[in-house]
Amino acid sequence: EDKVVQSPLSLVVHEGDTVTLNCSYEVTNFRSLLWYKQEKKAPTFLFMLTSSGIEKKSGRLSSILDKKELFSILNITATQTGDSAVYLCAVVSNFGNEKLTFGTGTRLTIIP
Amino acid sequence: DGGITQSPKYLFRKEGQNVTLSCEQNLNHDAMYWYRQDPGQGLRLIYYSQIVNDFQKGDIAEGYSVSREKKESFPLTVTSAQKNPTAFYLCASSLNRGYTEAFFGQGTRLTVV
């Protein structure tokens, strides 16, 4: 069974802090890893990672993948209250019959 | 506008009744997925489909059924066999090429009364 594990489950920090969210996975025929942000209802897409060691960056958010150690991290620098959300990691696996498996999510709370 | 539409947003069901959640997309995506999300939890995969007339069970398929008669539509039926159906249900779609993001609907919140 494909497995995606995120840590920590919950994190509370002060505005301006830097946070690192973790995602490890065990899947058959890895294709790509996706990060999403979920504030209320529909998750919104952040990053897609397919190659090891290549950092993806968008403003204060960045992410990197390690396919040898089977994990990814999502970094958020200079956090703001608007960053408060659940961050979801997902892995696409299989060929021709792609399956999208999500982790449990990390609930990030930013205190003003 | 292109997108993925779920309906209804809120649904109430009496115990013992079947109920069907709608998911429609006009993105020309091959793959469609149904997830269940409980409070404080991540997304758990119920069913997924890559092509018309074909679908696979996810991790928690028991008590649910789906159909994929059209590329655009992937309805989910929550049957009376599902013992704890109260949850938030999310539908997603993607191009099914392994290297594209999945897009989500706004979800349906099902409550059993």
Looking at per-residue pLDDT, the higher value among B2 and A112 belongs to: A112
More confident residue, B3 or A1: B3
With cut-offs at 50, 70 and 90, classify the pLDDT of residue B1.
low
Say what the pLDDT of residue A97 is. 78
pLDDT at B96 over 80: no
CB B8 within 8 A of CB B105: no
Please tell me the distance in Å from A7's CA to the nearest CA on chain B. Answer: 12
Using only C-alpha atoms, chain A has a radius of gyration, in whole angstroms, of 14
How many H helices and E strands in chain B? 0, 11
Number of residues written out for chain A = 112
Long-range contacts of B49-54 (CB under 8 A, 24+ apart): B49/B74, B50/A96, B50/A97, B50/A98, B50/B96
Q: Is B97 in contact with A98 (Cβ distance < 8 A)?
A: yes
- In the stretch 17-56 of chain A, residues with CB closer than 8 A to chain B read 31-32, 34, 41-43, 45, 48, 50
Mean pLDDT value across residues B55-78: 96
What residues of chain A lie within 8 A of the CB of B54, using their CB?
Answer: none
- Confidence band (pLDDT; 50, 70, 90) for B98? confident
**Residues of chain A positioned with their CB less than 8 A from the CB of B5:** none
- Asked whether the predicted pLDDT for residue B77 surpasses 90, the reply is yes
Q: For testing the chain B interface, which of A41, A94, A108 should be mutated: the one with the most B CBs within 10 Å?
A: A41
**In this complex, which of B43, B99, B107 lies closest to A31 when CB atoms are compared?**
B99
pLDDT digits (tens, 9 = 90+) for B30-49: 999 999 999 878 899 999 99
Residue B99 has pLDDT above 90, yes or no: no
CA distance B41 to chain A (A): 6
Residue with tokens 């929550």: B78
The pLDDT assigned to B47 comes to: 97
Q: List, for residues B4-21, the tens digit of each pLDDT value.
A: 999 999 999 998 899 999
Closest CA to A12 of A88, A103, A112, A111: A111
Q: Which pLDDT tens digit goes with each residue over A74-102?
A: 999 999 999 999 999 999 988 777 889 99
